[in-house]
Structures are given as C-alpha cells and as structure tokens.
Amino acid sequence: MSEASQTTPETDGVSSLKPISLPDAQRLKLAARNHGLALLAAITLWAAADAWAMTSGLNLATGLSLLNAFAAMTIIATIFHEWGHFTGARIAKSYSPMVTNPTGAFIFGFNFAKNTRQQFLSMSIGGPVGNWLLVALVFLLVPLDNPGRVMLLAVAVARGISVLIFELPIILRVMNGGDPETELNVGQDNGSGDRGQVIGYAAGVLLWILAV
C-alpha cells in the first residue's frame, strides 16, 4: 500500500497531516500492476538478449542470453509462486489481506488464528501449482532450440522442484492433522528449503545439459 497524505483542518493555527490507508482492493491492483511490470521487464530483456544471440551467433550474445534467461525466469517463477499462494488463499476465502506496501515479492499476509486448516492447505497448494503451471507454459510456448531458451525451462523446473521439496512435506503433515503454523515453522527450521534449492538447481543443470 502506498501512502498519501491529506491536510486536515487547522487546529490552533497548526495544520497536521494524516496518512491515508488504501483499501485492500486498491492494494491488490497495485500489486498486480507492479508484478505485471516486473514480468514485462523480465521477458523483454530476455527476448532482446535471445534475439541478439539468434541473429549474431556470437558467443558473447549466447552467454548473455543464458544469464538473462536465468535472471528472467527467477523473477517470473517467484511471481507465479506468490500469486499461486494468493489465489489459493482467496479461493478458500481465507483472511489474507494485502500487505501495506505490495512492491516486493510478498504481497499478502496469512493469519493462522483466523484461518482454518483447509484454508492453509488451499493457500499452500497454490504456490507449487503456480510453479508447475509456469513449467507447462514454458514447455508449450517456448521452442527449446537454443541454450538460452532451454535455460528458461531448466530454471522453471528447478524452482518447481525446490518448492515441492520444501512445501510438500508441510502440506502432507497438515493433511495428517498437524498444526499449520507449527508445521510451517518446522519446515523453515529443518533445512528443507536450502536442501530443496540444491536438489532443484542440480536437476535444472542436468536438464539443461541433456536438452542442449
């Protein structure tokens, strides 16, 4: 939520400024705009590097297309993941208000005290669904005919695997009766997030090598 200010009537000759809070719907629009612009920028920069690599055949251009593909898909995968969580939360009618200033990756809050186990599960499952939807979109829409384009798929798969390794055990424990907040804390403390990233990116590298 961006903050504005308005002038209130003067009291004893001194004017005061009172911050105005944007309603949740406007914060949602702001988050959608910011992430939409981030997606556009990431795709455009990668596309420019990809076009240079395709037309020039230079090793430098190919190297830059690889770096741009890695950076672009990292941004895109993060956005798909967070909007997947958000969509899952709102589908389940969870108490999930937009954050005060939705300019970063995290756009909403989830209140464990006000939400049920089923609402937590819906929110949690949405994140991995978002990642694997992205994998499907890249596979279907991007021709895998040069190293940079293969990198897009490899990073999308890497992020999808790392997310599953971290979030799937939490989801399963909650399905079996575990307390959502407790199980999330366990997942954050047991190193599964770091382990997931290592395994995910190792799988991504292997995929890239085999596909190229």
Residue 3 lies in a domain: no
Answer yes or no: is 185 within a domain.
Answer: yes
Q: b/e for 176-211, b at 16 or more Cβ within 10 A? A: eebebeebbeebeeeebeeebbebbbebbeebbeee
Residue 8 covered by a domain: no
Please give the chain's pLDDT, 212 residues, in tens: 433 333 333 334 444 444 457 899 999 999 999 999 999 999 999 999 999 999 999 999 999 999 999 999 999 999 999 999 999 999 999 999 999 888 889 999 999 999 999 999 999 999 999 999 999 999 999 999 999 999 999 999 999 999 999 999 999 999 999 999 999 999 999 999 999 999 999 999 999 999 99
Number of domains into which the chain is organized: 1
Domain with 141 in it: 17-211
Nearest residue to 1 (alpha-carbon basis) of 113, 104, 111, 151: 104
2 in any annotated domain = no
Q: If DSSP codes are grouped into helix, strand and coil, which group holds residue 34?
A: helix
